[in-house]
Amino acid sequence: MIIAKNALPGLLDKLAAEYEVYAPVKQGAYSLYKQICNGAEADFGYVNSKIPPKGILFPQSEKLYSYSVTGEGTSLEECVDTRKKVIFGIRPCDAKSLLLMDNVFNNDKFQDPYYLTRRSNTILVGMACNDPAGTCFCTSMDGGPFDQSGLDLLLTDIGEAYVVEAVSQKGKDLAAALALGAADDSQKAAAAEARESAEVACAVNTVGLKARLDVNFYDPIWEKFHEKCLGCAACTYSCPTCHCFDIVDEAKDCNGCRVRNWDSCMFPLFTLHGSGHNPRTSGKERMRQRIMHKFKYFVDNFNATACVGCGRCIKNCPVNLDVREVLADIRGSEARSDK
């Protein structure tokens, strides 16, 4: 199927009549996924957004329920968001991150109705990466610039138009509803060529990484990684797979709401006990937790690495801490190889 670029704003308008549509929007020097009211707001001249689109399903701050307590009793009101959404132009790495996040919010014992309701009401329209960034290393994390995991539709930019592939039934239904035309052979060939020439320049060797992490919790290597870390948590806030949160009350007297906010394992208060004891006292333990969680604990529990190689933690780190170098160091190998 095909979408001509000049037809895209109109098509987004049509979608916005039925769905909340989220698309990349220019915000100063960078892009962010924002809800758009009309198709002209979207700007697809982006490599990826500064903050991942995970916040559309798992908002940075969200009300779980509101309550009021009176002499007669308590009333609680759940705030589950059931509106239908489309994320238009999500990158393959970010779509894959949602598959990983599903494991957390739908675990062996509990289900999170806030995330899961949004998730089942959201259609993911992916945008393949013809020109990945220098910090991208998705191909080392079991993904790729044209990876279809988790997507409903995948768009490939061929210059004047996007070639559209339906990945899931949801995607087929959406394409049918939009009455997309068929791509001709030359358009299909152009998409195939884009796929061929897309190159992720950076490779991180992960062979043996998990085996090292299985045994090196007490290794002196952890002494050094955190040395320049400021503990600012830019890495975790901008990570599409980080899901840690805090729960707080916002209330006046006995009327208010319970709210959850993104939190981060890089903060000392994250694990501080009421007694004053803290199992992760310094940056060393916190950095180790971040790496271990992504590359060992998540693998132990869900048989997948909690990193999609989007490179945001590298780009957003104020002191240039590079997870690719940390991983190479742990493996005891030379730093990553750039082609």
Partner 1 sequence: MQRNPYLPLPMKLVKNFTETEDKLIHTFTFQFLSEEDEKSFPYMPGQFAEVCVFGKGEAPFGIASSPTEPGFLKFSVAKVGLVSTALHMMEEGTIVGVRGPLGNYYPLEQLKGKNIVIIGGGFAFTTLRSMITYILKPEHRGDYGKLTVIYGARNPGLLLYKEELEEWNGRSDIDLVCTIDRPVEGWTGRVGFVPTVTKEVAPSSENSVAIICGPPVMIKFTMPELEACGFKPDQIIMSLENRMKCGIGMCGRCNVGNRYVCKDGPVFTKAELNQLPNEY
Are 22 and 53 contacting, i.e. CB atoms less than 8 angstroms apart? yes
Stretch in the footprint of partner 1 (CB under 8 A) among 36-44, 148-156, 182-190, 271-279: 271-279
In a 3-state reduction of DSSP, which class is residue 240? coil
Q: Give the contact letters, 60-89, x = binds to partner 1 (CB under 8 A), - = no.
A: ----xx-x-x---xx-x-x-x---------
Nearest approach in angstroms of CB 3 to partner 1 is: 35
Q: How many other CB atoms are found less than 10 A from the CB of residue 339?
A: 7
Q: Is 18 in the site for partner 1 (CB under 8 A)?
A: no
Collapsing DSSP states into helix, strand and coil, what is residue 295? helix
Nearest distance from C-beta of residue 110 to partner 1, angstroms: 4
Residue 237 has φ and ψ, to the nearest 5°, of: -65, -35
Q: Please give the C-alpha separations between residue 128 and each of 95, 154, 213, 301, in angstroms, as whole numbers.
A: 11, 7, 32, 29
Phi/psi for 196 (5° steps) reads: -60, -40
The residue from 54, 119, 243, 315 that contacts partner 1 (CB under 8 A) is 243
CA proximity to 291, closest of 256, 315, 326, 319 = 326
In the block, tokens 């307590």 appear at 69
Q: Which of 301, 322, 329, 336 binds partner 1 (CB under 8 A)?
A: 301
CB atoms under 10 Å from CB of 244, counted, come to 17
What is the DSSP-derived secondary structure letter of residue 40? G
How many CB atoms neighbour CB 160 within 10 A?
Answer: 11
Cβ proximity to partner 1: between 30 and 67 the closer is 67
Tell me the window of 12-20, 34-42, 279-287, 327-335 that interacts with partner 1 (CB under 8 A): 279-287
Of 134, 217, 219, 282, the one binding partner 1 by CB under 8 A: 217
Residue 197 sits in the site that holds partner 1 (CB under 8 A)? no
202 and 338 Cβ atoms separated by less than 8 Å = yes
Rounded Cα–Cα distance for residues 325 and 189 (Å): 38
Under the binding rule (CB under 8 A), the answer on residue 232 touching partner 1 is no
Segment 117 to 136, residues that bind partner 1, using CB under 8 A: 117
Minimum separation from the CB atom of position 71 to partner 1 (A): 9
Q: Which stretch binds partner 1 (CB under 8 A): 102-110, 162-170, 180-188, 329-337?
A: 102-110
Count of residues near partner 1 by CB under 8 A: 57
Binding partner 1 (rule: CB under 8 A), the pick from 81, 142, 246, 322 is 246
Binding partner 1 (rule: CB under 8 A), the pick from 247, 334, 337, 338 is 247
Measured distance CA(57)–CA(81) in Å, rounded: 9
Q: Which residues bind partner 1 (CB under 8 A)?
A: 64-65, 67, 69, 73-74, 76, 78, 80, 104-105, 107-113, 116-117, 217-218, 243-249, 251-256, 258, 260, 263, 265, 270-275, 277, 279-280, 285, 289, 292-293, 296-298, 300-301
